[in-house]
Amino acid sequence: MTTTNYAGLQSLIWHDDKLDLLDQRLLPEEIVYLPLVTAEDVWESIRHLKVRGAPAIGISAAYGVVLGSRAAESAEDWHADVRKAADYLATSRPTAVNLFWALDRMKARAEALAAEGHSLDALKQALLDEAIAIQSEDEETNRMIGEHALSLFQDDIGVLTHCNAGGLATAKYGTALAPFYLAKERGMNIRVFADETRPVLQGARLTAFELQQAGVDVTLICDNMAGHVMSKGWVNAVIVGTDRVAANGDVANKIGTYSVAVLAKAHGIPFYVACPLSTIDLNTPTGAEIPIEERQAEEITEGFGKRTAPQGVKVYNPAFDITPNEYVTAIITEKGIIKAPFDVNLKKLFEA
Ligand code: MRU
């Protein structure tokens, strides 16, 4: 399906027994929804960044489990197919913990349903309901993150962000971009600086696009301009999303985030990280244990079809980096604003 209607653009729509997925590789030039009908379609879409952003990856994977188990003809086969699809989808990308969180939640739901002894149709419907719940809870969560984040911002300030942690990366609103949408609704003026985010340009193609569509004041800059813009006094705060927060508050996010955090500290600018609880991984003690995805060299040597580096040159292309917790002013979640000591305060979030 191709459309030119920008209003209410959603990254994922469950519709007519299939997942309609907005192909984010084509943005901002084309708006194309791909009909995904198998777990393999979902795996391929995650791996090749047709869908990206930690929460959106988790939501798609949840639907992938539904698609991968819907052909089963007995309750036993269905349960085996759920586990098989979840294990397979877990190999699509390594860094965003929301992927594993969503798959674990789907497996746990299937386990509970199987134990309750429902009809096959009821099992399939209940698992679909779980995926739908993951998506709708994400929307609500992001609105709460936005409220907390906005309480840190005043009218008429400049805020810098890196990569895309907006509506496109989530069910709606985004995490780091949520306060900008709420500010807009309330007539506040926040000037957003969007790093273009080499090499895949999530900042230029996605953040600049979605904020501009919403009428938010957004200025696109190259990644290497962030220090200059800060030195001018134009940036009052930095806010980014994250793919995984370790138990000690170290943060994995799109490559380049660490440099922005160091620059922010050098300029005395607060550095905020916005994420749902599903991005916090207490089982990973520090950033050093977070797996960092390495992607193909062509993203750097011939991104978007134009060769910009000599043939055969050695390339290193990590997709994420780790920002040590000492650079993080606060982590903003749906349950509130968390400050150091992160090892103690992150743990408290999960206590009843
Ligand atoms: O490689 P991507 O585009 O999936 O990376 C996305 C990011 O780094 C986001 O900042 C992060 O997933 C948070 S999205 C709310």
Look at residue 7 in the predicted model and tell me its pLDDT. Answer: 40
Look at residue 4 in the predicted model and tell me its pLDDT. Answer: 39
In a domain, 5, yes or no: no
Cα of 165 vs centre of ligand 1, distance in Å, is: 6
With a 6 Å cutoff on the Cβ, whether 53 touches ligand 1 is: yes
* Rounded average pLDDT over 165-187: 97
Domain boundary among 142, 174, 204: 142
For 21-78, how does the pLDDT look when each residue is reduced to its tens digit (9 = 90+)? 999 999 999 999 999 999 999 999 999 999 999 999 999 999 999 999 999 999 999 9
For 190-206, how does the pLDDT look when each residue is reduced to its tens digit (9 = 90+)? 999 999 999 999 999 99
For 67-99, how does the pLDDT look when each residue is reduced to its tens digit (9 = 90+)? 999 999 999 999 999 999 999 999 999 999 999
Look at residue 96 in the predicted model and tell me its pLDDT. Answer: 98
Label residue 139 exposed, middle or buried (CB < 10 Å: 0-12, 13-18, 19+).
Answer: middle
What is the domain range of residue 292?
Answer: 153-349
Residue nearest to atom 10 of ligand 1 (CA): 241
Same-domain pairing of 132 and 169:
no
For the chain, the average pLDDT equals 96
* Rounded average pLDDT over 130-156: 98
- Residue 93, annotated as binding a ligand: yes
CB 27 within 8 A of CB 78: no
Closest CA to 272 of 248, 253, 291: 253
Cα of 78 vs centre of ligand 1, distance in Å, is: 32
Same-domain pairing of 27 and 109:
yes
Given the DSSP bridges, would you call strands 33-36 and 18-22 parallel, antiparallel or unpaired?
antiparallel
Atom nearest to 170 CA in ligand 1: 15
Using most ligand atoms within 8 A of CB, pick from 243, 259, 281, 321 the residue to mutate for ligand 1: 243
Question: Is the confidence at residue 5, as pLDDT, over 80?
Answer: no
**What are the φ/ψ torsions at residue 81 (nearest 5 degrees)?**
-65, -35
Same-domain pairing of 192 and 231:
yes
Looking at the predicted complex, does its ipTM rise above 0.95?
yes
Question: Is the confidence at residue 6, as pLDDT, over 70?
Answer: no
Cα of 253 vs centre of ligand 1, distance in Å, is: 7
Cα of 196 vs centre of ligand 1, distance in Å, is: 13
In the chain, where does DSSP find H-type helix?
39-47, 54-69, 75-89, 97-116, 120-150, 178-185, 202, 208-213, 226-231, 257-266, 298-301, 342-349
> HSE-up of 17 (CA within 13 Å, CB side)?
4
Q: What is the CATH number of the domain that holds 179?
A: 3.40.50.10470
Atom nearest to 254 CA in ligand 1: 8
Total domains present in the chain: 2
* DSSP calls for 6-49: -TT--SEEEETTEEEEE-GGGTTT--BEEEE-SHHHHHHHHHTT
With a 6 Å cutoff on the Cβ, whether 199 touches ligand 1 is: no
For 228-270, how does the pLDDT look when each residue is reduced to its tens digit (9 = 90+)? 999 999 999 999 999 999 999 999 999 999 999 999 999 999 9
Angstrom distances, CA of residue 33 to CA of 21, 51, 86, 265: 5, 11, 24, 41
Q: Which residue has the tokens 């749906």?
A: 334
In a domain, 52, yes or no: yes
CB 82 within 8 A of CB 106: yes
